[in-house]
């Protein structure tokens, strides 16, 4: 009887831990066919890897711009939102994030203390799709406005 209680307790703790995991954590691959831009062009290829460590989300972006140039960046933001830090980026020197809900965020990328690129992202209820609306100056220095769709790998 004691063993059964322990197993049930451990299973319950593991279930709570899995449910509490941030829905953004994982590897997201851009689906260019589903991504539509009003202004500018979407990336040709993009993989975003998000990990969580000590209350922070580490966001690593690897990909290729529409003209074939390689892109690589790394940002760290607090899970609950707020000012983050740029670890690697040729385009931005600051980042800030606002957590709207567990599945929705607004992120501002800065240059010289001014937000120049805004990303509004939302993870689907089933956790398999990431819809992202972008507006502003992208990493290639191009003004863009559009929606990108990524799938969890």
Q: What percent of the chain has pLDDT over 90?
A: 83
Q: List pLDDT tens digits, range 19-52.
A: 458 999 999 999 999 999 999 999 999 999 999 9
Q: How far is CA 68 from CA 5, 18, 45, 112, 138, in A?
A: 57, 38, 9, 27, 14
* CA 51, chain centre distance (Å): 10
Which among 122, 152, 125, 149 has a CA at the least distance from the CA of 33?
Answer: 149
- Percent over 70 (pLDDT), the chain: 87
Backbone angles phi, psi at 13, to 5 degrees: -65, -45
pTM listed for this prediction:
0.84
State the virtual CA torsion across 152, 81, 121, 37 in degrees, nearest 10. -120
pLDDT of residue 12 exceeding 50: no
- The residues facing 150 across adjacent strands are 30, 130
Segment 121-134 mean pLDDT: 97
| Cβ neighbours, 10 Å, residue 48 | 21
What pLDDT, on a 0 to 100 scale, did the predictor assign at position 139? 86
Residues 42, 32 contacting (CB under 8 angstroms) = yes
Per CATH, the number for 23-152 is 2.40.128.20
Evaluate if residue 17 carries a pLDDT over 50.
no
Cα distance between residue 74 and residue 136, in whole Å: 19
pLDDT in tens, 56-108: 999 999 999 988 999 999 999 999 999 999 999 999 999 999 999 999 999 99
In the chain, what are the domain boundaries?
23-152
Share the mean pLDDT of the chain. 90
Q: Is the pLDDT of residue 5 over 70?
A: no
């Amino acid at each position: 009887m004691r063993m059964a209680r322990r197993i049930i307790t451990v299973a319950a703790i593991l279930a709570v831990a899995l449910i509490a995991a941030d829905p953004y954590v994982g590897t997201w691959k851009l689906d260019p066919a589903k991504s539509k831009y009003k202004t500018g062009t979407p990336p040709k290829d993009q993989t975003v890897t998000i990990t969580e460590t000590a209350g922070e989300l580490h966001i690593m972006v690897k990909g290729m711009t529409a003209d074939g140039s390689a892109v690589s960046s790394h940002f760290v933001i607090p899970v609950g939102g707020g000012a983050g830090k740029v670890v690697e980026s040729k385009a931005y020197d600051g980042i800030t994030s606002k957590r709207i809900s567990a599945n929705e965020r607004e992120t501002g990328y800065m240059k010289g203390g001014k937000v120049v690129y805004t990303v509004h992202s939302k993870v689907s209820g089933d956790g398999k799709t990431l819809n992202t609306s972008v507006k502003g100056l992208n990493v290639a220095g191009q003004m863009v406005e559009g929606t990108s769709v990524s799938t969890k790998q």
